[in-house]
């Protein structure tokens, strides 16, 4: 077994373990839905709809999945309940594959020709935003990338302190101006530092709570404008961090942030502590924004690049 095969195997085991609660909940509900039934009929489909919705797949995505299975039943004339796992797996995989975002094959790589690559990270307080930034920095640093962090969540002293701890732990510089300072000034200095030191990537934290969507939009727009004084097309990526354990609340947050700013990628955290992992399916389907990373545990290595096929495989693995 080669080195990369080992890392791939380790990642898969971590993913399987991280989705255990979701799988146990989903399959116990599914088993109850088909008990005593031999074929997939209207009653089974009604029960399946309830199972998917209660697993936080989301109403819109659930309707699409049920329609696909209805079409399949109509085409094949007879579908046994013993085939339901396989059919569900195939239809969910098919649905996710229609999200045009490509799966990441090379983990934690950066696009060529963008140096420093500027990532602005957004999300509400408590979703694991600062921890995700720290883990991202560690993953890039481990792969030989030069990283700069910007502590732009200046409304919370704890956020600045936490990012500084991550910087010390990983061994990367953190640009910070302390609490109640101008976040855009932090972003400017972080990007400037990244350019001056020939860094590969700069990751900017932002405030997790501003009183209204207008305030949020204005703050993020200002940060972008100020960074663009240093790098014309900054940020290269706007990464929205969502807490998977909140289920449909994560979907609501995604809707709000996508209205407030041009989100280009998603990170869904805390999937290991919840039975609501189905939310990844709904979010990926609804927003058509690439799910770039998922968090399936406490360790740095448990922040993984998201691969749709691997996720579905683990979701249905018994």
Residue spans of the domains in the chain: they are: 3-97, 117-310
Q: Which of 19-33, 87-101, 190-204 has the lowest mean pLDDT?
A: 87-101
pLDDT, position 105 = 53
Helix (H, G, I), strand (E, B) or coil at 269: strand
pLDDT at 318 over 80: no
Q: Which of 2-6, 18-22, 33-37, 313-317 has the lowest mean pLDDT?
A: 2-6
Helix (H, G, I), strand (E, B) or coil at 204: strand
> What length does the chain have?
318
Are 278 and 21 a contacting pair, CB within 8 Å? no
Query: Which pTM value belongs to this model?
Result: 0.91
pLDDT in tens, 223-236: 999 999 999 999 99
Q: In 81-173, where does DSSP find H-type helix? A: 84-97, 129-142, 157-170
Question: What distance in Å separates the CA atoms of residue 121 and residue 128, rounded to the nearest whole number?
Answer: 11
Superfamily of domain 3-97: SRP54, nucleotide-binding domain (1.20.120.140)
How much of the chain, in percent, has pLDDT values that exceed 70? 94
Give the Å distances, CA to CA, from 165 to 45, 134, 162, 187.
Answer: 50, 9, 5, 18
Strand-pair category, 303-305 with 291-295: antiparallel
113 Ramachandran zone, left/alpha/beta (phi>0; psi -120 to 50): left
According to DSSP, the residues that pair with 238 across neighbouring strands are 120
The CA-based dihedral angle spanning residues 225, 229, 231, 234, taken in that order and rounded to the nearest 10 degrees: 0
Are 167 and 135 a contacting pair, CB within 8 Å? no
What are the residues whose beta carbons fall under 8 Å from the beta carbon of 258, sequence distance 6 or more? 240, 287, 289
Q: Which of 286, 242, 280 is nearest to 19 (CA)?
A: 280
Strand-pair category, 147-150 with 265-269: unpaired
Running DSSP on this structure, what letter comes out for residue 156? -
pLDDT at 176 over 90: yes
pLDDT at 6 over 50: no
CA 213 centroid distance within chain: 21
Q: Which CATH architecture has domain 117-310?
A: 3-Layer(aba) Sandwich (3.40)
The percent of the chain in helix, strand and coil, each rounded to the nearest 5, is 55, 10, 35
pLDDT, position 7 = 45
pLDDT at 281 over 50: yes
pLDDT at 26 over 60: yes
pLDDT in tens, 121-166: 999 988 999 999 999 999 999 999 999 999 999 988 899 999 999 9
pLDDT, position 264 = 93
pLDDT, position 82 = 83
Beta strands in 5-157 (DSSP E): 117-122, 147-150
pLDDT at 54 over 50: yes
């Amino acid at each position: 077994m080669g080195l990369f095969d080992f890392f791939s195997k380790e990642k898969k085991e971590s993913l399987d373990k991280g989705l255990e609660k979701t799988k146990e909940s989903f399959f116990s509900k599914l088993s109850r839905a088909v008990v005593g039934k031999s074929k997939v009929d209207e009653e089974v489909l009604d029960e399946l709809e309830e199972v998917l919705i209660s697993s936080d797949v989301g109403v819109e995505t659930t309707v699409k999945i049920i329609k696909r299975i209805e079409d399949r039943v109509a085409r094949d004339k007879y579908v046994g309940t013993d085939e339901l796992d396989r059919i569900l797996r195939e239809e969910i995989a098919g649905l996710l594959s229609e999200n045009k975002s490509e799966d990441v094959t090379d983990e934690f790589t950066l696009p060529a020709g963008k140096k420093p690559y500027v990532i602005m990270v957004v999300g509400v307080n408590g979703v694991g935003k600062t921890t995700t930034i720290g883990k991202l920095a560690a993953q890039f640093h481990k792969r030989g990338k030069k990283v700069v962090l910007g502590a732009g969540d200046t409304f919370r002293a704890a956020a600045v302190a936490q990012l500084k701890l991550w910087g010390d732990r990983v061994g990367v510089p953190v640009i910070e101006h302390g609490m109640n300072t101008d976040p855009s000034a932090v972003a400017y200095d972080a990007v400037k530092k990244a350019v001056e030191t020939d860094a590969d990537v700069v990751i900017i934290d932002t405030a997790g709570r501003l009183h209204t969507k207008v305030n949020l939009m204005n703050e993020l727009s200002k940060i972008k404008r100020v960074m663009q004084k240093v790098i014309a097309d900054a940020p290269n990526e706007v990464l929205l961090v969502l807490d998977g354990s909140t289920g449909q609340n994560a979907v609501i947050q995604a809707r709000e942030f996508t209205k407030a700013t041009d989100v280009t990628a998603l990170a869904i955290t805390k999937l290991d502590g919840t039975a609501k992992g189905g939310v990844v399916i709904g979010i990926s389907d609804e927003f058509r924004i690439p799910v770039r990373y998922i968090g399936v545990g406490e360790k740095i290595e448990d922040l993984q690049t998201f691969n749709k096929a691997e996720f579905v495989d683990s979701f249905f693995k018994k």
